[in-house]
A = this chain, B = another copy of it.
């Protein structure tokens, strides 16, 4: 396997105006400038570089699709990404731009997982990659935890978006490896609060439908089993964020940090807006997980 590009080191930003406004000693760790525009490249690279299979199949309408396509392209592996037929042309073009085959599925007729199972059955040599529920994903994402730990500052709290919890479990795993002590708080859309419910009940809770939150990276129906095994007893809490706070956070990052964030990426800052009493006066690191967002949607969020 050829050497794959190492993940770009995360971009640490100290947005002074935003610190003053929020009354928090705030640092951002932005993955918006990561290869393919989100932290997902960390996990995708790990999967593509590790599995022996020369074909990778995944279901993704978003960032993981681009990331695994790019990682497979470098590794000289075939890659098939199952996407909803309703996906935007930009997203389809991006995945194809990285050399993957896009398999469009009419999700009103067939679940994406079902289509992946069909493809896997017809291609028994392929690796079916999950965007989060895989030890390789956790291992790949742990590099971000390591970078934060090694940056040389102790944070009272680290906040990250939660969808399938690949990022949260990766961060915890990276912190553990380095013995880095901090409180990890997840930020999840209120209308997709399966992880918060999971934390309350102590067992994985599942949304009946994919919740149509603005934070499209958090539309997963539940967190993964491997992720839950890492999170249980270790994650501090989860803030449930109303949609309006997500909008506000995207706009604040634009105005006061010059950062283009996608709605999912802004969840962590949105958590600070939602429950300021948790964070007030503390030193806080917010992970901005990605920056890929349609121009028309973004324009509507900032104006």
Contacts and interface: CB of A to CB of B under 8 A. Distances in A.
A260 B33 CA distance: 11
Nearest to A262: B258
Name the interface size band of chain A.
Answer: 20 to 34
Q: Count chain B CB atoms within 10 A of each CB in A258, A259, A291 and give the residue with the most.
A: A258
A222 interface: no
Interface stretch (A9-17, A79-87, A146-154): A9-17
A37 interface: yes
Contact of A303 (B14, B260, B299): B299
Contacts of A298: 254, 299, 302
A295 B291 contact: no
Interface string A8-30: 10010110110000000000000
Interface in A82-119: 90, 94, 97
Contacts of A251: 295
B17 A258 contact: no
A32 interface: yes
A251 B299 CA distance: 12
A142 interface: no
Nearest to A21: B97
Contacts of A70: 16
Given A13-B33, A97-B17, A254-B260, A303 B296 contact: yes
Interface in A250-267: 251, 254-255, 257-260
A302 B302 CA distance: 12
B33 A255 contact: no
Interface in A268-303: 291-292, 295-296, 298-300, 302-303
A35 interface: yes
A11 B28 CA distance: 14
A32 B299 contact: no
Contacts of A17: 94, 97
Contact of A258 (B254, B292, B299): B292
A258 to B, nearest CB: 4
B292 A303 contact: no
Given A11-B11, A97-B17, A260-B260, A295 B255 contact: yes
Interface of A: 8, 11, 13-14, 16-17, 32-33, 35, 37, 70, 90, 94, 97, 251, 254-255, 257-260, 291-292, 295-296, 298-300, 302-303
14 contacts: A8-B14, A11-B11, A11-B33, A13-B33, A17-B94, A17-B97, A32-B258, A255-B295, A259-B260, A260-B260, A295-B302, A298-B302, A299-B299, A299-B300
Closest 10 CB pairs of A and B: A258-B291, A299-B299, A295-B302, A260-B260, A32-B258, A299-B303, A37-B258, A295-B303, A13-B33, A258-B260
